[in-house]
Amino acid sequence: MSDAPIRLLHTSQLGPEALDGIRALLGRAFEGDFCDADFEHALGGMHALVHRDGELVAHGSVVQRRVVHRGRALRTGYVEAVAVRADRRRQGLGARVMAALEEVIARAYDLGALSASDAGAALYDARGWTVWGGRIGTLAPPGPRALPEEEGSTYLWAPDGGTLPDPAGGLWFDWRNGDVL
């Protein structure tokens, strides 16, 4: 299975059939706990896709977000919708999808970020992503709002082994509909 090629495509290169296939994979992989707002968050950036025997078996995407740290807006590659079809798990596909997304982040962003489920945390730990140890918030329409419920599940990755932001400064993510992170 590890020889299945990874295709990197921008959302604009995916037609309705491909998007429907991605949405279906995510719905099954997250066992129904993946809503339309979650899917919307995964669009507008680069998608890493793995097909096997003509079927989509793994997906992940990286989209641009702005994250403010100590008064500076960081161009952040935010990883979304990483999933592997249930019958293809534990074959290295999630790691290969993440490697492709990390390459995109390294070429285009100051920082990588994601919000991990309990089931996905081990993959990110193994790849050198670091749990953010500082405050997290969002720049909501009515003003800044702390998100303490996101602390402990937000991971960061610095391209080329760079330095991560100082946790004393906090991270303030741009606003979006649905779950902010």
Q: Read off the pLDDT of residues 124-147 as tens digits, 9 standing for 90 and up.
A: 999 999 999 999 999 999 999 999
The mean pLDDT of 54-73, rounded to a whole number, is 96
> Could you tell me which residue, 118 or 174, shows the higher pLDDT?
174
Please check whether residue 1 lies inside any domain of the structure. Answer: no
The mean pLDDT of 11-33, rounded to a whole number, is 95
Q: How far apart, in whole angstroms, are the C-alpha atoms of residue 125 and residue 143?
A: 33
Helices (H), 49-116: 93-108
Range of the domain at 81: 6-174
Biggest CA-to-CA distance, the chain: 49
The mean pLDDT of 23-41, rounded to a whole number, is 93
* End-to-end Cα spacing for the chain: 31
- Per DSSP bridges, beta strands 72-84 and 111-115 are parallel
Please check whether residue 179 lies inside any domain of the structure. Answer: no
Q: Which of 157, 165, 149, 163 has its CA nearest to residue 125?
A: 157
Q: Read off the pLDDT of residues 75-112 as tens digits, 9 standing for 90 and up.
A: 999 999 999 999 999 999 999 999 999 999 999 999 99
What sign for the dihedral angle of Cα 74, 35, 124, 181?
A: positive
The mean pLDDT of 50-64, rounded to a whole number, is 96
Contact in structure between 138 and 103 (CB atoms under 8 Å): no
- Per DSSP bridges, beta strands 136-140 and 130-131 are unpaired
Please check whether residue 122 lies inside any domain of the structure. Answer: yes
Please check whether residue 101 lies inside any domain of the structure. Answer: yes
Q: What is the tally of structural domains in the chain?
A: 1
The mean pLDDT of 41-54, rounded to a whole number, is 96
Q: How far apart, in whole angstroms, are the C-alpha atoms of residue 21 and residue 2?
A: 21
Local confidence band at 2 (pLDDT 50, 70, 90 cut-offs): low
pLDDT for the residue 32:
82
Please check whether residue 180 lies inside any domain of the structure. Answer: no
Contact in structure between 6 and 97 (CB atoms under 8 Å): yes
Q: Domain holding 158: CATH number? A: 3.40.630.30
Please check whether residue 106 lies inside any domain of the structure. Answer: yes
pLDDT at residue 1 greater than cutoff 50 = no
Which tokens is 1 given? 């299975």
